[in-house]
Amino acid sequence: MKLKNLALAGIGACALLASCAGGNKAAQEATTASGLNPELFSANKDGKDIKLYTLRNAAGTEACITNFGGRLVSFAIADKNGNLTDVVLGFDSIQDYINVPSDFGASIGRYANRIGQGRYVLDGDTVQLPTNNFGHCLHGGPTGWQYSVYDVAEANDSSIVLTLLSPDGDNNFPGNVQAKVTYTLTADNKLDIAYEATTDKPTVVNMTNHSYFNLGGDPSKDITDHLLTVNANSYTPVDSTFMTTGEIATVEGTPFDFRTAKPVGQDIDADNEQVRNGKGFDHNWVLATEGNIEVPAAVLYSPETGIEMTVYTTEPGVQVYSGNFLDGTVTGKGGKTYGKRAAICLETQHYPDSPNKADWPSTALRPGETYKSRTIYSFDTKK
C-alpha cells in the first residue's frame, strides 16, 4: 500500500491512539499505520499499566513505543517506492514481549553490554553482579530494565518521556537510580533518544537502545546486503566468551574496517579469529567522533528499499551486532520468524567492561552527578 493511501486512512485513527499526555482514550479497533493493534499492548504488570504510544509526523513516518522496557516496537517510513516500511524487529503483542525473553527495541540499563565476571570495584568497594551470559553480566543482569515497566511522565504526538526508579540492589547494582528516556520523532524523520540518570550511591550506568534494524523491511531476508559505514579507526577485540580483552586494535586490514561503505556480509564469515569469536560481528567500535552529536557515527543503507539510517551520538562507542544468535525460533510481527542475521543492532554506548578498564572512558556515576547520553537515528530515503 502506498504511503499516501496509508496517510489518508491513518490520520483519523492516529488521533485516537494512546499517544497523548493523560492517556487519550484509544479506539481499540484502530491499528497504527504500521499495522499494530494498541489493544494487544494493554496490560498490567507489577501493578503498572502498559500501553502502546504512537509518535507521528506530517510526512507519515511513525514510531510506536511501549513503556514495557521503554521499547521501540516499530518504526515505519516510506521506501523509495512510497510504500510505508517498518524497519525494526519486534512483536505484535505485549504478551510476547513479556513472555519471550528478548532485547527487541529496549531501553537497556543499568549497564548495557557486558561486565566481566559480573564483578567490578568502585571507590574501593567490590560489587558482584549476577552472571547471565557466558560467565559475565549482560545488559544489567537477568532482570535488567528491558523487563521493567517505565512510568510515562509525558506523551504527545511527537515525543514521550519515560522514567524508571531502579532501587538500590537492583541486580546487585548499588544505589537508587532515577532514570529517564525521552523519545522524540522530528519533522525530518529523526528519532532522537535522550537518556538521563541520577543516583544516591556511587554506581555505574551505561544506557542504550537495542533496536534490531532491517531497513529492507522484510526480516525473512537477512541484512548482509545492507551497506554499513562506521566512523571508527579501531575496535575492542573479544575473547571466545564475547568479553573485551582490554586491547584497542586498528581496523586497518581487518574485516572490521567499515570506514568506507561495504556490505555487512562481505567479511562477516571471514577466516579471522575475531570474526570467529563474535560468530560474525558482535564487537564495540571505538568511534572517531569525539562525542560530537553532529558528526555521523555510522550509516546503514538498504539498496532494496533505498532507506538510509545515519546514527549520531554523544557516546564514545557503538556495538555492532549482526543478529548472529537469531535462529528462527522466535516469531515476530506479522507471523514472520527471525532467522540468523535478520537484523543488525547499532548500540551506542561506553565500551563493554569499562568499570574494569581504568584507561577507558568511565561509566561511574556518583551522587550529585547526572548521567546524560543522546543518540539520534536519522532516516532518509534515496530514490
Residue pointed to by grid coordinates 554506581: 203
**b/e per residue, 161-185, with b = 16+ CB within 10 A?**
bbbbebeeebbebbbebebbbbbbb
- With contact defined as beta carbons under 8 Å apart, do 115 and 355 qualify? yes
Question: What is the spatial distance between Cα 132 and Cα 115, in angstroms, rounded to a whole number?
Answer: 10
Q: Is residue 283 flagged as an active site residue?
A: no
Q: Considering only CA atoms, which of 67, 362, 370 is closest in space to residue 196?
A: 370
Question: What is the spatial distance between Cα 268 and Cα 281, in angstroms, rounded to a whole number?
Answer: 7
DSSP annotation of 46 reads T
The residue annotated as part of the active site, out of 136, 210, 226, 350, is 210
DSSP annotation of 358 reads T
Question: What is the spatial distance between Cα 282 and Cα 279, in angstroms, rounded to a whole number?
Answer: 7
Q: What angle do CA 258, 264, 268 make, to 5 degrees?
A: 95
Question: What is the spatial distance between Cα 155 and Cα 310, in angstroms, rounded to a whole number?
Answer: 25
DSSP annotation of 172 reads G
Q: Is residue 210 flagged as an active site residue?
A: yes
Which residues, other chains included, contact 96 with Cβ-Cβ below 8 Å and sequence gap of 6+? none
Cα Rg for the chain, rounded, in angstroms?
20
Q: Residue 286: enclosing H or E segment and its boundaries? A: strand 282-287
Q: Residue 5: enclosing H or E segment and its boundaries? A: helix 3-16
Please give the single-letter amino acid code of residue 289: T
**b/e per residue, 303-324, with b = 16+ CB within 10 A?**
ebbbbbbbbbbbbbbbbbbbbe
Active site residues per annotation:
210, 347
